[in-house]
Structure 1
Amino acid sequence: MTEISITGAPFQFQRYLRIGDAHEGANGYDGIINSQTEADTAAQRYCLENQDNCQHFLEYLEKSGYSKTSLGLKTTRLAPAQLTSDQPTHIGKPFTFDNGTILIFVFINRKEIGIINQKSGELLNTHELRSVLDTLSNIDSRNSEGITMLQAAVSLGLTNIVRILLEKGANPDVKTDEGYTTMHLAAYYKKESILKLLLDHSADPNILDNEGESPLHKAVKEGYIKIAELLLDHGSDLNIMDKKGETPLHLAVVSNHLKVVKLLLDRGADPNNRNNYGATPLHQAVEHGFIDIATLLLDHGANPNIQGGPLGWTPLLIACVNGNIEFVKLLLDKGANIRTSESEDPLIYVATAGGYIEIIKLLLDKGANPNVKGPLGFTALHIAVQNDSVDILKLLYFRGGASLLTGSGGTAFLIFASSWSRQDHPKTIAFLLEQGIDPNQKDLLGRSPLHAAAQSGHTETMELLLKYGAKINERDLIGATPLDLAIAAGHIYVVKYLLEKGANPNQDMNPLGSPLLFSTSLGFYNFEIMKLLLEAGANPNSIDFKGNTPLHNVVERGEIEAIKLLLDFGADPNIKNNEGKTPNELTIDPEIKKLFGTK
């Protein structure tokens, strides 16, 4: 709530108060006292109006020699003295009326606030104030801050002046620029006696401000239970919604005011109202982790299966996503379903994604399907595999997920585990292999788990696959072996590992040719891989479908070191490709010509 400047802000001031307590002097109270900002002057006003809450600040004023001056309570350092002033300190802007009368609220002393008639300069007693008000035809005139005298008196907590203004015809339902009436102000500032006065003078308890909030909205947000009771006793609408569709119950829930929530529910508030985002108070309680409030809502008829929020989630799904097992237990005990009427909620899926094994156990005990699919058609087992959550994988497998690991399904999981993971997951791979999944079955592209592991650079996975009988030189549909895929990915350490384990360095991948040709071709050139292949016995004179040798490839791009390497391993510079060109004829570089012994 934006506060009118005449009264200040309790919550703002608490921040300043903490700063001052921690940093007395120039960085603390002095900064507040000398500041010109609206927030700081509001803090000063609040302090002087609420002395019991601000004793440190007032003591600092006294011992440091500050004195109040005029408007805004801006202060000036004097010689050490008591906090006194010859003239009352003005509060806010004056109120000017049609007949020329100008009235100003002032601090008489630390404890008293009064009203001065600017023309006479005299402080008005109640009799004189009544007489002046009798002369006014526009008692609801606003000052330059856009507020009426009644609004100012309510905000300052001046019960007697409020009573006089109401008796003289002041309208309690006049709105500020923000749409606040005296009812909003009295509710927000916890002025119970003033609120009673306003209600006795027919103030509207359901009037809305610019945000669509009623006085009850203000009271419940702050946790003012007595104010809320008073408003409800005088006809405040329990289920009135603001512009966001929030009822007082929504606001009490998100503010974590348990007693206020109970009051509203006991008075008949609907716990299943949705806000503009589709969320009920129960959704909000679960999201924020307020279990006592959630229990109270459920005990008063909140629907545990209602879908809401922008994604249409149930409270149970929110609890699973957040990994809050206490909420999961509560909601299941209160009748939450593990599936909706149309399709199963992917509760197991999201709990697995979060790694919440205890929640998964609870859901399985309630009959949840471990094979339910989430986004992209993945199941919880996919997620357990991807996250290397072996304990969860075992739990799902032995509680109904085993069917997914049979036949081609098992191969798919093994390939998924070998490739989609960001790093090696040997424990997961070992568990899958222990279940008897064939390491040589292939996917639709003809690729085995070893192809996938080689392409992804997972050497520990490859070691396990080879241990369980994976074929190291198996081809996919385009003729690529695991070695070819490792070369394409630039995994030098994988190429070295596969060659050490017996990968054939001369097995052609038609039409691209041998692994060595592949490692010298455009886009896949890698000097270190070339060297590994040649040292492992790769043929330096193998040819591709264009008749090119590795030497043709590196000469064409001017790779001097690669040319030297190939020549050292016996590459023939005189082999012609399908166009009749030798490597020597593909270059005019004198340095390369020199390597070939020509000019």
Structure 2
Amino acid sequence: MPVSGRAFIIIISAYLVTHFLSLSLAVDMRDAGEWTGLHHAVCQGRAGAVQTLLDAGAAVNIADQHGVTALHIAAAEDNVELFRLLLENKADPKMSVSRARNKLPGIRASNRNLPTVQADSRDSYGRSPLGLAMWEGNSEIVDLLLQKNQQREKVELTCEDTDVCELTACRPDGMSLLHVAAEKGYLKLMKELLSLKVNPNLRNAQGATPLTSAICNNQLACIQNLLDSGAKLSITDKTGASALHVAAKIGNVMAVTLLLNRGKENGRNIDINKCDHLGYTPAYYAINEG
């Protein structure tokens, strides 16, 4: 029975890939969106099929019309296992998505049966797998790419690595580069952004600032750096919670101490009795939940 190239590409399992290859189908056959079997196998997280395709000589750096490779897909999906496998098979982590005037389609846009992974249009042009993984908050993949040679010496993330065209660009949830740096503890990136006059008080869709992102993730060095760079203690999110509310609620004693000390240094004490929209104070959260 004849087998269509479309079937080979979409029906991805190690057994079926082996069977279809035995029928002399080209291992790098493309579909209408210029995706190969390797693109689809990585997108579906099928490690066995990926290994079978690589063993059969699949081109690991082949890209679709937008420059998206299998490594980009693994980075977007936060699939560390497949990301490592592709790197071991000489996938190029520096390949960039094509720059275009029109909005770049989501990684899966050409495949109707799959949900779309859509990057923010202001920031989606020209990103490498490292920039994509960083922007999606996939810190394990970022750490993997920032390892240097055989010594596995970690290299600090910089603005250049992020591949963004605007330093104040935000994801659809309002998270900026500074929020991501604060959340993940990328201190060098944070310092570089702040030195380039990025506002330390940017808010995401929930009204949270990079300071609260750092507090929630116990990134003490980032908290200190943001405070030194003018992060405001009086800003509240959409629930009326200040940075002190957040720190007290999650029991981050070191963050509470840093915030209170910074208030004293500036000659104005923080009001520990200020209520959020639920009517609760930082003191209440510290006593009852922290």
Query: 1: CA distance between counterparts of 2:214 and 2:134?
Result: 18
Query: How much does 1:482 deviate?
Result: 0.6
**Correspondent of 1:315 among 32, 38, 48:** 38
Contact 2:247-2:255 at 8 Å conserved across structures: yes
**Correspondent of 1:515 among 267, 275, 282:** 282
Q: How big is each residue's C-alpha offset from its partner over 1:567-597, in whole Å with a ceiling of 9 and x where there is no partner?
A: xxxxxxxxxxxxxxxxxxxxxxxxxxxxxxx
Query: How much does 1:457 deviate?
Result: 2.6
Q: Residue 552 of structure 1 aligns with which residue?
A: none
Query: How much does 1:485 deviate?
Result: 0.7
Q: Residue 152 of structure 2 aligns with which residue?
A: none
Would you say 1:384 and 2:110 are equivalent positions? no
Query: 2: CA distance between counterparts of 1:471 and 1:276?
Result: 53
Q: Residue 179 of structure 2 aligns with which residue?
A: 415
Which amino acid counterpart does residue 282 of structure 2 have in structure 1?
P
Residues 425 and 306 of structure 1, relative CA distance in 2, 3 Å threshold: same
Would you say 1:348 and 2:72 are equivalent positions? yes
Query: 2: CA distance between counterparts of 1:368 and 1:284?
Result: 33
Which amino acid counterpart does residue 405 of structure 1 have in structure 2?
L
**Correspondent of 2:224 among 448, 463, 483:** 463
Q: Residue 118 of structure 1 aligns with which residue?
A: none
Q: Whose relative contact order is higher, 1 or 2, with alpha carbons under 8 Å and at least 6 apart?
A: 2
Q: Report the 3-state secondary structure (helix = DSSP H, G, I; strand = E; otherwise coil) of the residue aligned with 2:91.
A: helix
Contact 2:63-2:69 at 8 Å conserved across structures: no
Query: How much does 1:412 deviate?
Result: 2.2
Would you say 1:501 and 2:265 are equivalent positions? no
Query: How much does 1:426 deviate?
Result: 3.1
**Correspondent of 2:202 among 430, 441, 453:** 441
Q: Report the 3-state secondary structure (helix = DSSP H, G, I; strand = E; otherwise coil) of the residue aligned with 1:501.
A: helix
Query: How much does 1:406 deviate?
Result: 3.0
Q: How big is each residue's C-alpha offset from its partner over 1:172-212, in whole Å with a ceiling of 9 and x where there is no partner?
A: xxxxxxxxxxxxxxxxxxxxxxxxxxxxxxxxxxxxxxxxx
Query: 1: CA distance between counterparts of 2:63 and 2:15?
Result: 15
**Correspondent of 1:284 among 11, 14, 17:** 17
Q: Residue 305 of structure 1 aligns with which residue?
A: 30
**Correspondent of 1:359 among 82, 91, 97:** 91
Query: How many residue pairs align between the two structures?
Result: 234
Q: Report the 3-state secondary structure (helix = DSSP H, G, I; strand = E; otherwise coil) of the residue aligned with 1:445.
A: coil
Query: 1: CA distance between counterparts of 2:70 and 2:191?
Result: 27
Which amino acid counterpart does residue 318 of structure 1 have in structure 2?
A
Deviates more, 1:482-491 or 1:435-444: 435-444
Query: 1: CA distance between counterparts of 2:254 and 2:158?
Result: 35
Query: 1: CA distance between counterparts of 2:158 and 2:105?
Result: 11
Query: How much does 1:518 deviate?
Result: 4.2
Query: 1: CA distance between counterparts of 2:225 and 2:257?
Result: 17
Query: 2: CA distance between counterparts of 1:441 and 1:394?
Result: 23
After superposition, residues 8-407 of structure 1 pair within 5 angstroms as 272=5, 274=7, 278-279=11-12, 284=17, 301-306=26-31, 314-318=37-41, 327=54, 331-332=58-59, 336-339=62-65, 347-351=71-75, 353=78, 354=80, 359-361=91-93, 363-364=95-96, 367=98, 373=106, 377-378=118-119, 381=131, 383-385=133-135, 386-388=137-139, 389=142, 398=160, 401-407=163-169
Contact 1:338-1:347 at 8 Å conserved across structures: no
CA RMSD of aligned residues (A): 5.0
Q: Report the 3-state secondary structure (helix = DSSP H, G, I; strand = E; otherwise coil) of the residue aligned with 1:484.
A: helix
Q: Report the 3-state secondary structure (helix = DSSP H, G, I; strand = E; otherwise coil) of the residue aligned with 1:466.
A: helix
Q: Report the 3-state secondary structure (helix = DSSP H, G, I; strand = E; otherwise coil) of the residue aligned with 2:204.
A: coil
Q: Which sections of structure 1, spanning at least 5 residues, go unmatched?
A: 1-238, 240-268, 286-292, 527-599
Residues 314 and 438 of structure 1, relative CA distance in 2, 3 Å threshold: farther
Would you say 1:451 and 2:212 are equivalent positions? yes
Residues 383 and 331 of structure 1, relative CA distance in 2, 3 Å threshold: same
Query: 1: CA distance between counterparts of 2:99 and 2:59?
Result: 12
Contact 2:200-2:210 at 8 Å conserved across structures: yes
Residues 447 and 337 of structure 1, relative CA distance in 2, 3 Å threshold: closer
Which amino acid counterpart does residue 498 of structure 1 have in structure 2?
L
Specify which structure has the higher proportion of helix: 1
Query: 1: CA distance between counterparts of 2:4 and 2:14?
Result: 6
Contact 2:28-2:58 at 8 Å conserved across structures: no
Which amino acid counterpart does residue 449 of structure 1 have in structure 2?
P
Contact 2:8-2:17 at 8 Å conserved across structures: no
Alignment TM-score, normalising by the size of structure 2: 0.56
Query: 1: CA distance between counterparts of 2:157 and 2:276?
Result: 45
Contact 2:30-2:36 at 8 Å conserved across structures: no
Contact 1:484-1:518 at 8 Å conserved across structures: yes
Identity score, percent: 16
Query: How much does 1:274 deviate?
Result: 4.2
Which amino acid counterpart does residue 413 of structure 1 have in structure 2?
L
Query: 2: CA distance between counterparts of 1:425 and 1:482?
Result: 20
Residues 301 and 467 of structure 1, relative CA distance in 2, 3 Å threshold: same
Query: How much does 1:428 deviate?
Result: 4.7
Which amino acid counterpart does residue 240 of structure 2 have in structure 1?
G
Q: How big is each residue's C-alpha offset from its partner over 1:126-161, in whole Å with a ceiling of 9 and x where there is no partner?
A: xxxxxxxxxxxxxxxxxxxxxxxxxxxxxxxxxxxx
Query: How much does 1:337 deviate?
Result: 4.2
Q: Residue 251 of structure 2 aligns with which residue?
A: 490
Which amino acid counterpart does residue 271 of structure 2 have in structure 1?
N
Query: 2: CA distance between counterparts of 1:305 and 1:402?
Result: 29
Which amino acid counterpart does residue 11 of structure 2 have in structure 1?
G
Contact 2:30-2:37 at 8 Å conserved across structures: yes
Alignment TM-score, normalising by the size of structure 1: 0.31
Query: 1: CA distance between counterparts of 2:238 and 2:6?
Result: 58
Q: How big is each residue's C-alpha offset from its partner over 1:70-90, in whole Å with a ceiling of 9 and x where there is no partner?
A: xxxxxxxxxxxxxxxxxxxxx
Q: Which sections of structure 2, spanning at least 5 residues, go unmatched?
A: 108-115, 147-154
